[in-house]
Amino acid sequence: MAAPFRARPPVRAAGFVVLVLVSQAAHGLVTNPFYQWDRFAYWFARPVVLDGLLITLQVTAYSAVLGLAGGVLLALCRLSGSPVLRSVSWTYVWLFRSVPLIVVLLFLYNLGALYPTLGIGIPFGPAFLTFDESRLATDIVVAVAGLSLCEAAYAAEVVRAGVLSVDQGQHEAAAALGLPGRYRFARIVFPQALRSIVPSYVNQLIGLLKATSLVFYVSLLDLFGTVQNLAGTYPGDVVPLLLVATVWYVVLTSLVSVAQFYVERYYARGALRTVAPTPLQRARAGLRDLRIRFRKETAR
């Protein structure tokens, strides 16, 4: 085992300065009456806030699943041998990565003005089935559709990069065994690609979770929209309400990061000799080292 790194005096001094600055910031955050922590505690778990939080979770979950499914489909089209599928997939990714999310949401929200009814039928011919767009496109449908369309474009590049990161020898070995193409991808290539896909896509998922705050502009009261409405009704509680939204977003992204750690650890088992220890294992190792040092000091 390598010897632990010992900080030199300049590094120790920099660490001390950072510790002082962090302590001052924490002290100001706790003692400044402008933050109104009593009002923060009042609003943090109010039913109206929890209802908005539930909508945020619903929109994020639906958009993440649909976006990932669309991203896998688009990535397969980009990697296929069909020039039509490659061109359409590239155009889709280029378009939705270029247009801001808020523009997509507002466009879908006002889609009824362009297409009052939607139909399925023969191109340039009669429609077999028609839908009333105003009834079909509810607020949550518009929000999920807009987020999913944009998320699929980013997920497609994440999945494509993960598939391309798999060593070519794996493809050749699977082909030499005579395995069908679908089986090669599902059982050999894609599981190895997940080691590269998971970290990048979880970062996308965290961005998606925060991007749900934009659905407020299509009349869907998620966590941010609820806080905005309450701040308009209670102007004296603007800061504590913003802190409520901030803390809830931090909690949610932290939970996603914890899940990311364990998923990465699971998929790293076949690539690393030893997987990264869990926080509990690190804590146990730290306590064990402290006991060993204590025994050595007392034995002198």
**What is the predicted pLDDT for the residue at 25?**
83
Q: Is the pLDDT at 1 greater than 80, yes or no? A: no
pLDDT tens string 78-96: 888 888 999 999 999 999 9
SS (H, E, C) 199-232: HHHHHHHHHHHHHHHHHHHHCCCCHHHHHHHHHH
The angle that helices 47-79 and 190-211 make with each other, rounded to 10 degrees, is 140
Instruction: Kindly state the percentage of the chain with pLDDT values over 90.
Output: 28
CA distance 215 to 208: 11
Average pLDDT over residues 14-28: 84
DSSP labels, 24-40: HHHHHHHH-GGG-HHHH
**What is the predicted pLDDT for the residue at 102?**
92
Give kind and range of the element (H or E) at residue 77.
helix 47-79
**What is the predicted pLDDT for the residue at 194?**
79
DSSP 8-state code for residue 271: T
**What is the predicted pLDDT for the residue at 2?**
44
**What is the predicted pLDDT for the residue at 128?**
62
Average pLDDT over residues 25-31: 80
| pLDDT band at residue 3 under the 50/70/90 scheme | very low
Weakest-pLDDT range from 118-127, 189-198, 245-254: 118-127
**Mean pLDDT score of the chain, rounded to an integer?**
82
CA distance 128 to 112: 20
- 68 near 60, Cβ under 8 Å? no
Tally of residues, the chain: 300
pLDDT tens string 215-272: 888 888 899 999 999 988 888 889 899 999 999 999 999 888 888 777 777 766 655 5
